[in-house]
Amino acid sequence: MRVEKLLTRLKREFIKVNILQACLDTIIFFLTSNLILFLFSLQLVSGTSNIKSLTILSTVFFLFNITYRTKNYRLEIYEEKNPELKEVLRTARDNVKKSNIASQALFDELIKRSRSVTSESIIPSKKIVKKSIAVGILSLITVTSGIVNFNITENGGEILPEIDRLEEIVQGENGGEFELNNDTDIFGEPRDMNNTGTPVEFNITGEGESSEAEPSINTDEQEEMFVDNSNPDEVEDIELAKKYMIEIRELE
């Protein structure tokens, strides 16, 4: 029972360390994103301030980070970080159901030795230092950006401009409130097609003679066949052409 309590305590220590790590990661994520958006004069979501958008994103990032880290909890992590505890922890875990003097002595020893297991002993100190330095540098640059304008581009635009339109579509005229209509509301009442009308009877019959002789067409008629009177210029030309033809006949 006491050993189980100890194992719970170890897990709590582990979570403490991971919260610290996740916090640092989130701060780095926030500051870096903010700096990039500033440098390229970008707006993450149009109509929403970058700080607001980044805060939401960072919160999501933090939650994912802490969930992922906590899921990876194993007793072996302590063994790796505290080699002096490795065999004691493993032996205690394998003999947790035994209750003789020797095993009690083991559990007592484990509890005694585990008191030295604090958050510090399982912190990857080098990583933490590096991350802290990164946070410091990013904070400094962020502060400087408020004093000196060193944007790379002046008009970077928006990363997610469609959001506005989407909002309009989604919000509609009711300022964010919209209702889902059914097909009747959209297309009206359905109408049934009436197909019970009287059937129309029609018969195609015709008369005519076919002659082998070429139809006699006089010149005027012939000319008219080729004349399209739709264009007035062409009509003038034809009239002129007629005059020329008459003149040529008279000459002949």
Partner 1 sequence: MKIRSTGEAGKYEKAGEKLTAVLDETEKVIVGQQEIVKNILASILCDGNVLLESKPGLGKTKMTRTVAQILDLDFSRIQNTPDLMPSDITGTQIINENNDGKQFEFQKGPIFANMVLADEINRATPKTQAALLEAMEEKQVTAGNNSYELEKPFFVIATQNPLDQEGTYPLPEAQTDRFLMKLKLDYPSEEDEEKIVERFTEELEYSPNLKSILSKPSIIKLQEFTRQVPIADDIRQRAVKIVNATRQNQDLEFGGSPRASMSLVLSAKARALIEGRSYVSSTDIDKMAKPVLRHRIGLSFQAEKKGLTTDNVIEEILEDL
Q: Which residues bind partner 1 (CB under 8 A)?
A: 2, 5-6, 9, 87-88, 90-95, 98, 100-109, 111-112
- Taking the complex as a whole, the smallest distance from the CB of residue 10 to partner 1 amounts, in Å, to 11
CB 69, CB 16: distance < 8 Å? no
User: Which residue, 88 or 138, is less far from partner 1 as judged by CB?
Assistant: 88
User: Which residue, 8 or 72, is less far from partner 1 as judged by CB?
Assistant: 8
DSSP state at residue 142:
H
- Taking the complex as a whole, the smallest distance from the CB of residue 20 to partner 1 amounts, in Å, to 20
- Taking the complex as a whole, the smallest distance from the CB of residue 82 to partner 1 amounts, in Å, to 15
CA–CA distance, 187 with 183 (Å, rounded to integer): 6
Residues contacting residue 171 through CB under 8 Å, at least 6 positions apart: 177, 178
List C-alpha distances in Å: 215 to 11, 222, 226. 112, 11, 16
CA–CA distance, 179 with 171 (Å, rounded to integer): 10
User: Which residue, 13 or 25, is less far from partner 1 as judged by CB?
Assistant: 13
Phi/psi for 189 (5° steps) reads -65, 140
Q: CB neighbours (10 Å) of residue 46?
A: 15
- Taking the complex as a whole, the smallest distance from the CB of residue 99 to partner 1 amounts, in Å, to 9
- Taking the complex as a whole, the smallest distance from the CB of residue 115 to partner 1 amounts, in Å, to 8
- Taking the complex as a whole, the smallest distance from the CB of residue 12 to partner 1 amounts, in Å, to 9
CB 85, CB 78: distance < 8 Å? yes
CB 17, CB 123: distance < 8 Å? yes
User: Which residue, 93 or 242, is less far from partner 1 as judged by CB?
Assistant: 93
- Taking the complex as a whole, the smallest distance from the CB of residue 66 to partner 1 amounts, in Å, to 22
User: Which residue, 6 or 37, is less far from partner 1 as judged by CB?
Assistant: 6
Q: CB neighbours (10 Å) of residue 43?
A: 17
User: Which residue, 17 or 24, is less far from partner 1 as judged by CB?
Assistant: 17
- Which amino acid appears at position 154 of this protein? E
User: Which residue, 11 or 23, is less far from partner 1 as judged by CB?
Assistant: 11
CB 107, CB 92: distance < 8 Å? yes
